[in-house]
Amino acid sequence: MSDAMAGLTEMRKKCLKDIGFERFINFPITELPGALLYYVVDKFHPTSMELRLEKGSIKITKQRIHDMIGVPMGKMKLEDLEQRDPDDPFIAEWESQYSNVAKITPAAISTEITSTFDADFIFTINFLTLFASTMGTVDNGAKVFPTVLKHVKENDVISDIDWCGYILECLRTSRHNWEKVKNGDFYYGPATFLCLLYLDSTNFPQFQVMRHRPAMRSWNTQAMRKRIGMEIKENCLGKLEHHEKFDPEEEQTGLNFYKGTDVYNEPLPPKRPETKEEFVDKIEEKFENISNEKAELAETLKEGMQKFQGDKTLFTLCKPSAYLKPKASSVAKPQKTPSAWDVGVGSG
């Protein structure tokens, strides 16, 4: 999602604003910390629709989804919209974009968006299908569902569709494959929402973040990694007190507040240090990031060794020298499962 939403033309930005998805411009999350994702999915209970943490449960509703990712919560259910005829020429036109791939995946759609510039209805369906698959769900082969293509038509008012309700239903049905996920398969549900819900709802005094609505504005991948790495180091993942109900008028001040991101502005390149103090601050920040990532890596390795006792690959990875070996090739070999370290958000 982040790759597709970077560098959009002004016409495409206007298109997203017109349909109610302006919050996804410059989408700030490229990957989700694997330890956090595993934890929140494990603690999600679909029967009661709750995220059950040690200090209490968080009820998941359509309003919560809107608060986290800021998409329209209209009155029309996506699946209740009149379907296109099977021989509708638009279906063939849309599918022809992907005639060169074996299956239409979020990564394929992201590539199509970044390699074209038109802000037409094809772009709208590409974006909505990417949204429905990365924020909602895909099939167990990572292929996108044709729900958006079949139901959303040129004259429909897209902002009147209940996209929060769609994500809620994806969440309700996504955990059925959780046993496979724990054994090394993919989780195909609304992972970004669950991670944001945890981060926004829990209070970690050592890393204060200014809360926004939607909460997506408060977090990028770097901030997520830092927060979860610190929680793992202090052995408090899932054990934190909860925030009070969000109050937009509440004063949020603090010396070390992380201010979050603004999806309306292009991200600025990182400022290069110039003074001695800036170099010291930059180096200390890098060391802290390495320390936090090392803590999460150690936790992930420990968890893997406990689940797959005697596995030679995991045993080798636990040796410090495993991280110092040069790569045999610059081309990554296909892998069945994503890294437990970070999980990409919809492959782009």
Domain boundaries, the chain: 2-233
Higher pLDDT pick, 314 / 223: 223
Higher pLDDT pick, 91 / 185: 91
**3-state DSSP call for residue 134?**
helix
User: What is the rounded distance in angstroms from the CA atom of residue 246 to the CA atom of residue 244?
Assistant: 6
pLDDT digits (tens, 9 = 90+) for 209-241: 889 999 999 999 999 999 999 999 999 999 999
**Mean pLDDT, rounded, for 199-210:** 94
Question: Which pLDDT belongs to residue 302?
Answer: 75
Question: Which pLDDT belongs to residue 342?
Answer: 59
Is a pLDDT exceeding 90 seen at residue 192? yes
Is a pLDDT exceeding 70 seen at residue 347? no
pTM for this prediction: 0.77
Residue 301: pLDDT band (50, 70, 90) is confident
Is a pLDDT exceeding 90 seen at residue 343? no
Q: How many CA atoms lie within 13 A of 102 on its CB side?
A: 2
Question: Which pLDDT belongs to residue 255?
Answer: 40
Contact at 8 Å (CB) between 48 and 250?
A: no
User: What is the rounded distance in angstroms from the CA atom of residue 189 to the CA atom of residue 139?
Assistant: 10
Question: Which pLDDT belongs to residue 108?
Answer: 96
Question: Which pLDDT belongs to residue 33?
Answer: 94
Is a pLDDT exceeding 90 seen at residue 333? no
Residue 204: pLDDT band (50, 70, 90) is very high
Is a pLDDT exceeding 80 seen at residue 201? yes
Taken as a whole, the chain contains a residue count of: 348
Is a pLDDT exceeding 70 seen at residue 179? no
**Mean pLDDT, rounded, for 17-41:** 94
Is a pLDDT exceeding 80 seen at residue 292? no
- Which of 7-16, 170-179, 244-253, 256-265 tops mean pLDDT? 7-16
Is a pLDDT exceeding 90 seen at residue 298? no
Residue 272, C-beta contacts closer than 8 angstroms, at least 6 positions apart: none
Residue 324: pLDDT band (50, 70, 90) is very low
Of 187, 147, 145, the C-alpha closest to 46 is 187
What values do phi and psi take at 33, rounded to 5? -60, 125
What is the percentage of the chain residues whose pLDDT exceeds 90?
Answer: 62
From residue 113, give the alpha-carbon distance in Å to each of 6, 7, 109, 261, 303: 10, 11, 6, 23, 38
Dihedral of CA atoms 269, 275, 276, 278 in degrees, nearest 10, equals -30
**3-state DSSP call for residue 342?**
strand
**Mean pLDDT, rounded, for 72-84:** 97
What is the percentage of the chain residues whose pLDDT exceeds 70?
Answer: 82
Question: Which pLDDT belongs to residue 340?
Answer: 38
Question: Which pLDDT belongs to residue 175?
Answer: 78
Higher pLDDT pick, 67 / 339: 67
